A and B are shown apart, each in its own frame.
Chain A
Amino acid sequence: MPADATPPLQSPGFDLDEPGTYLYSGRASTRGFRLNRFALSLTKPANREAFLADEAAYMAGYDLSEDETALVRARDWTGLLKAGGHLQAILKLAATLGLNLYHIGAHNTGTDADSLYAMCPRGVSATPEPE
């Protein structure tokens, strides 16, 4: 491995705690309601064009907080999920920017999209315990 390559990630664990997992709850859905409404508006081609032409002006129409707007401007994918953004909604924002799931996952895992792509599938093995 070249010296500047991303080191391999730890094997995924078998727990449901953050930052391994952001379990999408009702509370997250309430917290992220406006953020998700903004992100999901980008499934319409005209809205994608308007957003790309002037991000700030477009976001002003969606009643986002300053923090939420800053997370979008910073492409802070992990921050957006923590703010209640649903992965499937935030993915529409990534798609609009010409990015994909791996860019979000890379930000979550602290690597870059190409390295993460090369690491997948991240194999583990466990089956349910017999009763």
Chain B
Amino acid sequence: MTEMVTWTCTGCALLCEDIQVRVDNNRIEQVEHACLKGKARIFGCKHVAVPAVNGAGVSIDDAINEAARILKGAKNPLLYGWSNSTSEAQMAGIELARTLGGVLDSTSSFCQGITINEIIKGTIPSCTLEEVREQADVMIFWGANPMSSHPRHLSRYSYFPRGELRQRGYEEDRTAISIDVWQSRTAKICKDKFYRIPPGGDAEFMRGLMDGLSGRVPKLSFDFDVKRILELAAVLKKAEFGVIFAGLGLVYSMKEDFGLLSEFMDTLNRFSNYSLIPMAGHFNMRGFNQNLYDETGYIYRVKFVDGKAASGVEFSVVEQIKHGADAVLVVGSDPLASLPASISRRLKDIPVILIDPCMNLTSQVADVTIPCSTSGIEVGGTAVRMDGKSMEISPLVQGVNMSDEMVIKRIIEEVG
């Protein structure tokens, strides 16, 4: 039987809820309105994971038992990944970390975690994407290239659509600005509002812009037309509702001087109403931060000792893989592909358990592989969008594997 289903896409943290999918007898036939990223997510993995221990095929029960044995025997297990899991699976992960007395961290540790921390704690103001669509007139894509990372960002929310207070949309009512080290696809759309800065020059440019906003002449150590900064400051001052979309370029460049970002937001808010939205990548990265914060008061890099949580940079995935962790549970992530080789190399020296629907690079070094169903396609649940809005996701088709939440709950039963 063929039916059209309205679905929420889990291809990225935009969670587009207007996707139409044609499903025929539990098989996905066609997807409408989703971008190429969403299409790739919905049509699933190229190589499906199978249960295995030390490279040999086993039953799913044996794989779960072996994973539980490794985790139980470890003194300092690291539980990492989580951004491609539903909030329900993340909550089970927090429970497992508490039971094991292990370290819990997510991909946000080297992504937007630092920005989300400031937003959750209230030091940086934020808003929803609906507010952006209905009201925003000035948007800055700083170190961000949504045309590649979140293809529908500009068409669904930020620049092109007609909003309640922006009836003439991008043609007259909105100004898109790109500040980046290269002319990205997003920068091309911003045309003459593209400001190219040198790598690592974000903080200095931000100070220059703050000078411009305060009526002082900016002084920069790199070659940049001061007039253009003053023009930009004038545009920012005139905004009625401004938004900064902070990309990884900004976060990586500013992480040593993150207080400056709050200062910049304060300066902007003296003139108008400005918010910041982190360009979270994976569909439920922000969900992990929010769930862990609700449970422990910390958003990431947590170690449980006697059921109590402590947080610190020494509990980050990078530090733990370098030295510390004696077993790693990876859920829906691929650290071998995303971390530098100098760090991920150690994964071959410690036991690695991988829970994932697909084979990936980490599968090559995993001692135990446990396949699970794909979140958002074969199993539903809750996810948190990049702006912090909680959304319900319904499954599209029935999968053959159990969900990652179920796998983790089974491991908790075994180790408990």
* Binding between chains A and B: no
Residues of B in contact with A (beta carbons under 8 Å apart):
none
Residues of A in contact with B (beta carbons under 8 Å apart):
none
